[in-house]
Amino acid sequence: MDKQPLAQLTKISSQVRRDILRMVHAVQSGHPGASLGCTEFFVALYFNQMKHDSNFNMNGAGEDLFFLSNGHISPVWYSVLARSGYFPAEELKTFRKLNSRLQGHPATEENLPGIRIASGSLGQGLSAAIGAAQAKKIDKDDSTVYVLMGDGEQQEGQVWEACMYAAHHKVDNLIATIDFNRQQIDGPTKDVMDLKDLKAKWEAFGWEVIETFKGNDMEAVLEGLEKAKSLTGKGKPVLNLLHTEMGYGVDFMVGTHKWHGIAPSDEQLENALGQLEETLGDY
């Protein structure tokens, strides 16, 4: 896919948010909060940054690969995959329903194009991404591997096993991003289990760390990803600390953990959709 310009990326983001809300509303389950918060990031990756082929093959040789570790934000990924041509947008209707390829959490079992490994049980995606990045190095494939994690997910021990490993083995074709929205199911991360200084922690483990302070501003997200890309190939894995707001784009959902994993009612959906322009046509 050709790189889409900024104005188009903003339009796509609006449609993706509509998709997320309608998918979650239709089945009255799913995780809208961080899906909305990460919309700019996903749109920037799939419509601008990554070199990828929507005619999916598992191997992905010569392509940039993306792994979603915090699998519960599947709605945003499914929407972006559909809107970038991996499968028909119409299929978003089947999200979380019986016999669907769009499982509650991303899976390979039903062969949904775009998914390379199951995720949902937290803490595992970084390891898989590092493995894929090392395999690319063996194959002398100079493309980049991306992975997204949640900030609450940083409480999982495996993340730090992987973090230590990637620095030790100089896995420098890898860009990990943390969705730093400071919220998790039970409340703000500082109350549930304080993450303290994530930047200092990742740096201490030997990673190159950048911060994207405006994670819901498309221009800033692009700038952050460009910068991250420029730091690859220099002997260190790269971490992008992406500051986002959970629920961004819908005034009554923004900035609270309350919309982490619940669906809007009919009235709430109508209200929310009124705030988001239909730019590519609803499915």
d(CA 190, CA 43): 29
Nearest distance from C-beta of residue 213 to another protein, angstroms: 30
Task: For the CB of residue 228, give the shortest distance to another protein in the complex, in Å.
Answer: 19
**Residue 96 CB, nearest distance to another protein (Å)?**
17
CA nearest neighbour of 70 among 146, 145, 174, 152: 152
Compare residues 91 and 141 and give the one whose CB is closer to another protein: 141
The Cβ of residue 205 has, within 10 Å, a number of other Cβ atoms equal to: 18
Tell me how far apart the alpha carbons of residues 114 and 53 are, in angstroms, rounded to a whole number: 9
- Residue 159 CB, nearest approach to another protein (Å): 9
- H helix runs in the chain, sequence order: 6-27, 32-37, 39-44, 74-83, 125-138, 157-168, 189-192, 198-204, 218-230, 266-273
Pick between residue 4 and residue 158 the one whose CB is nearest to another protein.
158
Return the closest-CA partner of residue 30 out of 249, 189, 264: 264
For the record, the structure tokens of 238 come out as 């790269």
Indicate the pairing of strand 208-212 with strand 145-150: unpaired
Minimum distance of another protein from residue 24's CB (angstroms): 23
Nearer to another protein, 66 or 78 (CB): 66
User: Between 90 and 140, whose beta carbon lies closer to another protein?
Assistant: 140
Residues that bind another protein (CB under 8 A): 58-61, 65, 67, 107-109, 116-121, 123-136, 138-139, 141, 157-158, 161-162, 164-165, 168-169
Q: Which is nearer to another protein, 24 or 117 (CB)?
A: 117
DSSP 3-state assignment of 69? coil
| Least distance to another protein, CB of residue 108, Å | 5
Q: Are 77 and 71 a contacting pair, CB within 8 Å?
A: no
Phi, psi dihedrals of residue 251, rounded to the nearest 5°: -60, -35
At its nearest, how many Å lie between another protein and the CB of residue 65? Answer: 7
Task: Output phi, psi for 197, to 5 deg.
Answer: -90, 90
162 or 225: whose CB is closer to another protein?
Answer: 162
Nearer to another protein, 81 or 132 (CB): 132
Nearest alpha-carbon partner for 261 in 73, 19, 17: 73
Of 34, 7, 12, 48, nearest in space to 224 by CA: 48
Nearer to another protein, 62 or 88 (CB): 62
CA 153 to chain centre: 13
- Dist. CA 231–CA 225, nearest whole Å: 10
Q: How far is the CB of 135 from another protein (least distance, A)?
A: 4
Q: Is 147 helix (H, G, I), strand (E, B) or coil?
A: strand
